Amino acid sequence: MRDGDVSRETYDAFGYYIALLEKWNARINLIARSTSSEIWNRHILDSFQLVQFADKGYRWLDLGSGAGFPGIVVSVARPDVPMTLIESDNRKAAFLREVVRQLRLDCTVIADRIERIEPQNAAIISARALAPLSELLGLAARHATPETVYLLPKGRDWEMEVVKARGMWQFDMETFPSQTDAQGRILKLRSVRRVASESGS
């Protein structure tokens, strides 16, 4: 994030978000205490990388939103993108609702398990630090359409995750260097579909 990328109003909103996060983190475990002094670089900037892929009016679904990374960050930066946040932990969901209320974001927070909610038919699906890619696609696929774009930040083991996932899933993939992790990548997947078994089932 460089000067000129966002308005002063957006910077102020991020500052307010961080203040809320620090306040709530003293009571519930939103982020690891070891990263609390690095919220801006470790969490905000890392999540902000996905903003470049946002399209106006396209419904975005963020899975396992936790403290709001990347879903809240994208919503603050791109208020023209309707966002749905899925978080099964009721305490974390309460935090997300408070952020949405105070920052007046166009976000819906659903406090339930990903596999139990109604299919969302999202245009974009994101998830950060939720599960290995093969498992993550299993959770996300029921909420997608054939045109859905998946935006998945991954760490240094991203290549191994992709190899394993390709044993169960077919997909077209682009990768983008992470600006906050020299060994990480942002995976952009399209046309995700499960590999048919030899028996055809």
Helix (H), strand (E), coil (C) string for 175-186 = EEECCCCCCCEE
The reply to whether 51 falls in a domain is yes
The reply to whether 124 falls in a domain is yes
The reply to whether 200 falls in a domain is no
Q: Rounded to the nearest 5 degrees, what angle is found at the Cα of 109, between the Cα atoms of 107 and 111?
A: 175
pTM of the full predicted structure?
0.92
The reply to whether 1 falls in a domain is no
d(CA 8, CA 136): 35
Residues 6+ apart with CB under 8 A from 159: none
SS3 state of residue 93: helix
Q: How many domains does the chain have?
A: 1
Are the beta carbons of 62 and 53 closer than 8 angstroms? no
The reply to whether 15 falls in a domain is yes
> How many other β-carbons are positioned within 10 Å of the β-carbon of residue 143?
20
The reply to whether 199 falls in a domain is no
CATH of residue 115: 3.40.50.150
Are the beta carbons of 59 and 123 closer than 8 angstroms? yes
Which residue carries 């936790």 as its tokens?
66
Which residue carries 């260097």 as its tokens?
177
> What DSSP character marks residue 62?
E
Per-residue pLDDT of the chain in tens (201 residues, 90 and over written 9): 554 467 889 999 999 999 999 999 988 989 876 565 688 888 899 999 999 999 998 999 999 999 999 999 999 999 999 999 999 999 999 999 999 999 999 999 999 999 999 999 999 999 998 999 999 999 999 999 999 999 999 999 999 999 999 999 999 999 999 998 999 999 999 999 999 765 444
Per the structure, the complete domain to which residue 124 belongs is given by 8-194
The reply to whether 2 falls in a domain is no
The reply to whether 201 falls in a domain is no
